[in-house]
């Protein structure tokens, strides 16, 4: 029996998450940054965005994905450093080299975080807690940054645990503690529950997973759509998802923030071709492994409101640039306001997944009858 098919009480999952990863690497390179309010991101005058920020900056309200000019308003002394992805990628590779000392069942989520399935690993007397401590120490000694680790019987709980004692923290949720831990867990700590869903739950008097358990899957699906069934499971600490070593793309997209607002339809249309060309180049690198299922566009207005629009393709390629142009115009017409960012992309079908061959075959058969 593989570890992914074992019941939760027998699984041992670690979620390793680097602390303020980009900033930690920059601080390692320049120790004078230690304790300072700084961030990695784009320049305010170029409409940059904060990629990540130091914990000192976070104390002033600065957050990832915040516009750089807004971050500087909150923290006037904030120093913004341009990103150096080659340096971060090298640090990430070294982290994964450490992970591989313990298991080959590693699911990377980004450069700075990953799930590790250490079920059945005999190192550290089989203790996931001891393995977590060794990994934390190795990352400190060999890479010069810190990570936080969560250990639990499933991915949902491991991810929550890694955030529990940040930074440089370890939190363990053993099987015997799941019931009590999850019962008191605030609903906003559930992965995927954002501000809108949290507010909707609070308006219904639901503040903890224990309160969420009072409702049936049918009721939750009525309120929260397909996410309702998943909420019902997570409110009980249930998550049978395996650690997937071969994560595959689900989408591909490009976007650009403009130095000057795009004021009208003509200005917006003129920006579609460069985006389309960039997307086409990127898709050509993976076209042998994926087919395109949908196309989508994103418009962020100058007031930071945004909208997205997508449509299903009738064949498995990027199709013509004109389709993206039409979709972009339709999206812009929802607001008809000055625009600061445009993006476009595609939803993908993984051609390596066996079930997709059947789906594509059915689609082709349906077309052939038309």
How do residues 102-124 score in pLDDT, each as one tens digit?
Answer: 999 999 988 899 999 999 999 99
Inter-residue contact 33 to 26 (CB < 8 Å):
yes
pLDDT for res 191? 85
Torsion of CA 45, 50, 54, 57, to 10 degrees: 60
Say which CATH topology domain 251-369 has. Answer: Dna Ligase; domain 1 (3.30.1490)
Q: Which two tokens stand for residue 186?
A: 């605030």
What is the percent of the chain with per-residue pLDDT over 90, rounded to a whole number?
66
In the chain, where does the domain assigned CATH 3.30.1490.100 lie? 251-369
pLDDT at 82 over 60: yes
CATH topology of domain 179-234: DNA polymerase; domain 1 (1.10.150)
Predicted pLDDT at 363: 39
**Could you report the per-residue pLDDT of 290-346, keeping only the tens digit for each?**
888 889 999 999 888 889 999 887 554 445 788 999 999 999 999 999 999 999 999
**270 pLDDT higher than 50:** yes
**CATH 1.10.150.20 spans which residues of the chain?**
179-234
pLDDT digits (tens, 9 = 90+) for 240-251: 889 988 767 788
pLDDT at 247: 66
Q: Which residue has the higher pLDDT, 195 or 143?
A: 143
Q: For residue 288, is pLDDT > 90?
A: no
Going by the annotation, the residues of the binding site for Mg(2+) are 17, 112
Q: What percent of the chain has pLDDT over 70?
A: 90
**pLDDT of 355 above 80:** no
Residue 51 has pLDDT above 50, yes or no: yes
Task: Give CATH 3.40.1170.60 domain extents, the chain.
Answer: 22-83
Residue positions annotated with a catalytic role: 113
Cα dihedral angle (53, 59, 63, 64), rounded to 10 degrees? 30
Task: Quote the mean pLDDT of the chain.
Answer: 88
Residue 362 has pLDDT above 50, yes or no: no
- Is the pLDDT assigned to residue 131 strictly greater than 80? yes
Q: What is the pLDDT of residue 119?
A: 95
In terms of pTM, does the model score above 0.95?
Answer: no
With beta carbons less than 8 A apart as the criterion, state whether 80 and 100 touch: no
What pLDDT, in 10s, does the model give residues 141-169? 999 999 999 999 999 999 999 999 999 99
* CATH T-level assignment (fold) for domain 22-83: MutS, DNA mismatch repair protein, domain I (3.40.1170)
Taking the C-alpha atoms of residue 67 and residue 56, their distance in angstroms, rounded to an integer, is 18
**Per-residue pLDDT averaged across 64-93, rounded?**
93
Q: Residue 365: what pLDDT?
A: 38
- pLDDT, position 9: 55
Residue pointed to by tokens 């809108």: 196
CB-based contacts of 101: which residues, under 8 Å, 6+ apart? 138
pLDDT value at 370 more than 60: no
Residues 4-42 have pLDDT tens digits of 445 555 899 999 999 999 999 999 999 999 999 999 999
CATH 3.30.70.270 domain span(s) along the chain: 7-20+86-177
Q: Using CA of residue 284, residue 285, residue 286, residue 288, what is the dihedral sign?
A: positive
For the cut 50, the answer to whether the pLDDT of residue 66 exceeds it is yes
Distance of CA 255 to the CA centre of its chain: 17
- CATH for the stretch 7-20+86-177: 3.30.70.270
Separation CA 363–CA 9 (nearest Å): 42
């Amino acid at each position: 029996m593989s570890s992914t098919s074992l019941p939760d009480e027998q699984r041992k999952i670690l979620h390793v998450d680097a602390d303020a990863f980009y900033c930690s690497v920059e601080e390692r390179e320049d120790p004078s940054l230690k304790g300072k309010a700084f961030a990695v991101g784009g320049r305010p005058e170029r409409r940059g965005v904060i990629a990540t920020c130091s914990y000192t900056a976070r104390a002033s309200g600065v957050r990832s994905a915040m516009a750089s000019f807004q971050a500087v308003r909150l923290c006037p002394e904030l120093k913004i450093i341009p990103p150096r992805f080659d340096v971060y990628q090298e640090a990430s590779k070294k982290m994964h080299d450490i992970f591989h000392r313990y298991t080959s069942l590693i699911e990377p989520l980004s450069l700075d975080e990953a799930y590790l399935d250490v079920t059945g690993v005999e190192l550290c007397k089989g203790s996931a807690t001891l393995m977590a401590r060794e990994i934390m120490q190795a990352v400190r000694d060999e890479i010069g940054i810190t990570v936080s680790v969560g250990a639990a019987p499933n991915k949902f709980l491991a991810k929550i645990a890694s955030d529990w004692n940040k930074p440089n923290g370890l939190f363990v949720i053993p099987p015997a503690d799941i019931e009590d831990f999850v019962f008191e867990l605030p609903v906003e700590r559930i992965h995927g529950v954002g501000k809108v869903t949290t507010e909707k739950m609070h308006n219904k008097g639901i503040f903890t997973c224990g309160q969420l358990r009072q409702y049936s899957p049918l009721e939750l699906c009525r309120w929260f759509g397909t996410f309702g069934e998943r909420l019902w499971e997570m409110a009980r600490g249930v998550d049978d998802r395996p650690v997937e070593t071969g994560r595959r793309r689900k989408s591909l997209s490009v976007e650009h923030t403009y130095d000057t607002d795009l004021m009208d339809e003509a200005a917006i249309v003129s920006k579609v071709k460069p985006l389309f060309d960039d997307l086409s180049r990127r898709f050509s690198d993976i076209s042998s492994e994926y087919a395109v299922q949908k196309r989508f566009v994103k418009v962020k207005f100058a007031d930071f409101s945004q909208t997205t629009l997508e449509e299903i393709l009738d064949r498995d390629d990027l199709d013509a640039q004109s389709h993206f142009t039409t979709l972009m115009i339709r999206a812009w017409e929802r607001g008809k306001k000055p625009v600061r960012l445009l993006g476009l992309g595609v939803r993908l079908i993984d051609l390596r997944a066996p079930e997709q061959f059947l789906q594509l075959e059915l689609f082709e058969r349906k077309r052939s009858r038309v």
